[in-house]
Structure 1
């Protein structure tokens, strides 16, 4: 399996959970919104961990560079982590207006972030890590 396919599938899974959280919040069901948000947050943070602890270091080791795309992705991951905390707070307070304000910011950031990863970084990983792609994906699956 290509790295890009595996990681793209994880993006889609996270997107689906987030959409369900937004739907529930929109209808005022904050218990359900929290359940889906928690799934989204856990899956997103696990995805970041896989990238930051397995994929990025492997890519950096092979390319000899920790500057560039992986550095940008780590910075954006930290931005997302901050927004996740703000969203959790909005759900805890059942603040619908704040939830959707933060959710809009998060969605824009994630769409741009995922597009950069999917169109640039993952394609680079597929090329540079071709000989060890299967091993890298298996490590991420069990992480």
Structure 2
């Protein structure tokens, strides 16, 4: 997808993927390294992974809120929400978020167990969240955003851009 062809609010979402993807690559490399190291996995690397996941989760939430509260409802007017691309996008958001939650829960429960099982499980949740999101971002960039670019009216795109600028969702609540 030539990102230059996207209208401004869709381009913003596309551009937000760039730093998120860079974070995901670092997380994935660290998680894979920890899984491979197993029992020899270092406390320092695990703590680094936890810090990176925490920062990433916060930034991802800001991005996904704009999609879930603004873009998806607009597109659902045309495409429906129960099946089709919006249902898939929301399902993938839920799956990635669930793996991030499981990551934090596993770390809280197992912490720095020295048997390697806890570290492998914790790293596995991070790895799964990233895998889901990498594929998800590709779908958005190559299918969903271009579809929205053609589907949404100029007025809807302006509303979307205004909402992104002011941080308002469609009901007027701050996101």
Larger Rg: 2
Which residues in structure 2 correspond to 1:110-125 (within 5 Å)?
A: 110-125=133-148
Distance in 2 between residues matched to 1:12 and 1:33, nearest whole Å: 20
Superposition CA RMSD, Å: 2.4
Match of 2:115 in 1: none
**TM-score using structure 1 length:** 0.81
Contact 2:28 2:130 survives alignment (8 Å): no
More helix by share: 1
**TM-score using structure 2 length:** 0.68
Deviations 1:5-60 (A, max 9, x none): 21122222222333444566656423333222111111112222211111111122
Match of 1:59 in 2: 75
Distance in 2 between residues matched to 1:89 and 1:50, nearest whole Å: 26
After alignment, is 128-137 or 104-113 more displaced?
128-137
Deviations 1:64-105 (A, max 9, x none): 622311111111111111100122134442443223322332
After alignment, is 7-16 or 92-101 more displaced?
92-101
Q: Measured at CA, do residues 20 and 60 of structure 1 come closer, stay the same or move farther in structure 2, by a change above 3 Å?
A: same
Distance in 1 between residues matched to 2:22 and 2:12, nearest whole Å: 16
Deviations 1:99-128 (A, max 9, x none): 332233222211211111111111111112
Q: Measured at CA, do residues 100 and 48 of structure 1 come closer, stay the same or move farther in structure 2, by a change above 3 Å?
A: same
After alignment, is 125-134 or 67-76 more displaced?
125-134
Instruction: Number of aligned residue pairs: give it.
Output: 142
2:58 to 32, 35, 42: 42
Which residues in structure 2 correspond to 1:20-35 (within 5 Å)?
A: 20-22=26-28, 26=34, 28-29=43-44, 30-35=46-51
Match of 1:13 in 2: 19
